[in-house]
Structure 1
Amino acid sequence: MRATDLIVTITSLVEQRVPTFLWGAPGIGKSSIVKQIAQDKEVGFIDLRLALMDPTDLKGIPFYDKESHTALWAPPAFLPRHGEGILFLDELNSAPPSVQASAYQLILDRKVGEYELPSGWAIVAAGNREGDRGVTYRMPSPLANRFVHFEMEVDVEDWRLWAYKKGLDERVISYISYRNEHLFTFDAKSDAKSFATPRSWEYVDKILKSTITKELLLDTLSGAIGREVGVSFLSFAKVMNRLPDIENILKTGSGEHSDEVDVLYALSTGVVSAYLKDKNEEKLENILRYTLGLKSEFAVMIVQDLQRNGVRMEHSEIFKEWVKKFAYLLG
């Protein structure tokens, strides 16, 4: 299931307090979309990494109560006491069975020990699949049956939309647009420690914005996305030196029109990124005017990327001209 569809679906289930479980390969953004749901709803978000916990971390520590002459459990401070939010149980199936048992009680009864989860809080869990080369324990059927299960897939268009909103380096967005298959190169049969994932491409963005020297850049990128992909990315990044003047395109609506595919991918991303950083009506008109002379598939890519990022252009006379020229590609 695509991330955009998962956000809509899980949001609805969170509102009904239906426990959900999100499955997927490492590094594809499972925890990020759950956090985004909480941010969009403006509610609390608590991320518990169950693989790092002991049973008492959830249930609490027992103590003797003098008044009742009984043993009670002191609930942990990190569990919510009031309000609304999402309690995210990450790496649930990587937790030892004893920890899963404590989580089972919390999920089943919404309480564990002396603690009770406030009514405004929903439970969402996540974990890697058994074939993903991680440490996993088979989830007991009674526990699995307490969730609505979804498997998250990697989708390039979803990632590109996220990358634009996040403000990732346009070289990264351009490269993935050009080489879709390099967004996610994880192979469960390989022993490689570094491989490309949506998460590791976010690391690449931070590496490019760091003070690492050119001499050390390849080795550093290889540590994030693997040597082969790192070499390919840096080779593509050199394309940025062959781009037409993007600022001039935004100011005048005119500029060179390349026939090189790699240049056109980089140009398309560069134009959209530059506009999203500083929007105004004149620049939008100039972009539309410029795309009238572009290869059709890249003209459509630019306009669709702008629309996915919430840019409205239906009122523009130039856009009406644009639609007449490229209408046959919009179906």
Structure 2
Amino acid sequence: MQAAITVTPEQLPEVLLHVAVVRPVFLWGAPGIGKSSLVRSFADSLGLECVTLLGTQLAPEDLIGVPQIVDGRSRFAPPVSIARDEPYCLFLDELNASSAEVQKAFYSLILDRRIGEYELPAGSVVIGAGNRATDNALARPMASALVNRLVHVHLRASATDWLRWAAGAGIHSWVLDYLRNRPDHLWIAPPKTEEPFSSPRSWHMLSDALHSYGDGIEDETLRVLAFGTLTAGHASSFRAFVKTVRNAFGLDAILKGEAGWPAAAEDRDLLYFLAETFRARLVKELAADKASASPAARLLAHRGKALLVQLAEISLEIAQIVIATDDDGNAVLPSWFLVEVTRDLPRLVAARA
């Protein structure tokens, strides 16, 4: 299921506060963007215990229970994980990955808030979650009867929200600083092949591993960890970033003229990273209209043209990365800056000769 209307992690608690308390909610989203942790945090905010059931690990009898004889009559006894006296948050994770039989077993629990003779205590909330088929994740079609029993909310990854959370959650400083510079690397659509890919979850895993090793981690070990958790391009870029941190060598020093572009062959990954960071800085700080550009942005543009010449002398291919169009062929940098680059480049080259 896809939707044009989505919410960020920061917006989700308010939506759940007003909706989940009156109707069951199904939370859609890509793998690794924090659906489960957000639901648990929401339950904590209400003072409710969060009871998680994984749809992929259930059989119908795990919900319906088993028959027992009471006063000469049989009745189904729901499992203790569900049959509770106090209100709680029932979190049906991977609901749409469960079998059709298990999904059917959820019908009455979701709509009528009851299983057999057991009814959820007043004040309980029911939230389901799952991935989309387009995420290359395990997802089975949900019957229209089940779809129609839920309010559907679509969650999207937000670098701003995640970084705000991460700053107080003990995420490793290298991960924080890298994603502050490259927030577009927080999440990428899951690939069609079986390979690691970047997501809030994978960055968190990398952070945990870095904490375990400590800042003295060897470069080859860092390479193993980064390529074992992230999209390959992001892993290479992150490794280069760590190299700049360890050597106190960064883009700001280049912009100020305190250092030049690294030209050694063994620093080619570092050069790629700095060029991509340079491009991101230009995109972020250069206004679409030159007339509205701040003095700092004008200075960056002026300095940027000279740096492009220096970069091209080392690698024309990498210099082209800075001014390249996006995947659809559209210009990313402001047109006025690109015009000035085209106009001034011959003069700048001649001045360097």
Which TM-score applies when normalising by structure 1? 0.70
| Correspondence list, 1:167-182, <5 A | 167-182=170-185
Distance 2:83 2:226 in 1: 39
- Equivalenced residue count is 250
Contact 2:226 2:238 in 1 (8 A): no
* CA positional deviation for 1:87: 0.8
* CA positional deviation for 1:109: 1.3
Give the match for residue 116 of structure 2.
Answer: 113
Distance 2:254 2:87 in 1: 54
Which amino acid in structure 2 is aligned with residue 182 of structure 1?
H
Select the structure of larger CA radius of gyration.
2
* CA positional deviation for 1:38: 1.3
Which amino acid in structure 1 is aligned with residue 202 of structure 2?
S
Q: 1:4 to 1:35 in 2, by over 3 A?
A: same
Give the match for residue 46 of structure 2.
Answer: 41
- The answer to whether structure 1 residue 163 and structure 2 residue 169 are counterparts is no
Which amino acid in structure 2 is aligned with residue 8 of structure 1?
E
Where 2:157 maps in the other structure, the secondary structure is coil
1:13 to 14, 19, 32: 19
- The answer to whether structure 1 residue 100 and structure 2 residue 103 are counterparts is yes
Give the match for residue 221 of structure 2.
Answer: 216
Distance 2:204 2:123 in 1: 33
- The answer to whether structure 1 residue 146 and structure 2 residue 152 are counterparts is no
Distance 2:232 2:144 in 1: 41
* CA positional deviation for 1:186: 2.8
Q: 1:258 to 1:11 in 2, by over 3 A?
A: farther
- The answer to whether structure 1 residue 240 and structure 2 residue 240 are counterparts is no
Which amino acid in structure 2 is aligned with residue 64 of structure 1?
I
Cα RMSD (Å): 2.4
Deviations 1:239-291 (A, max 9, x none): 223559xxxxxxxxxxxx8565999xx9xxxxxxxxxxxxxxxxxxxxxxxxx
Which amino acid in structure 2 is aligned with residue 133 of structure 1?
N
Distance 1:39 1:187 in 2: 30
Deviations 1:23-42 (A, max 9, x none): 01111101111111112222
Which TM-score applies when normalising by structure 2? 0.66
- The answer to whether structure 1 residue 201 and structure 2 residue 203 are counterparts is yes
Which amino acid in structure 1 is aligned with residue 52 of structure 2?
D
Q: Structure 1: state its 5+ residue gaps.
A: 245-256, 267-294, 297-331
Give the match for residue 26 of structure 1.
Answer: 31
* CA positional deviation for 1:80: 4.7
Distance 1:45 1:91 in 2: 15
Which amino acid in structure 2 is aligned with residue 200 of structure 1?
S
Where 1:210 maps in the other structure, the secondary structure is helix
Where 2:193 maps in the other structure, the secondary structure is coil
Which amino acid in structure 2 is aligned with residue 89 of structure 1?
L
Q: Structure 2: state its 5+ residue gaps.
A: 1-6, 257-272, 278-295, 298-353
Give the match for residue 9 of structure 2.
Answer: 3
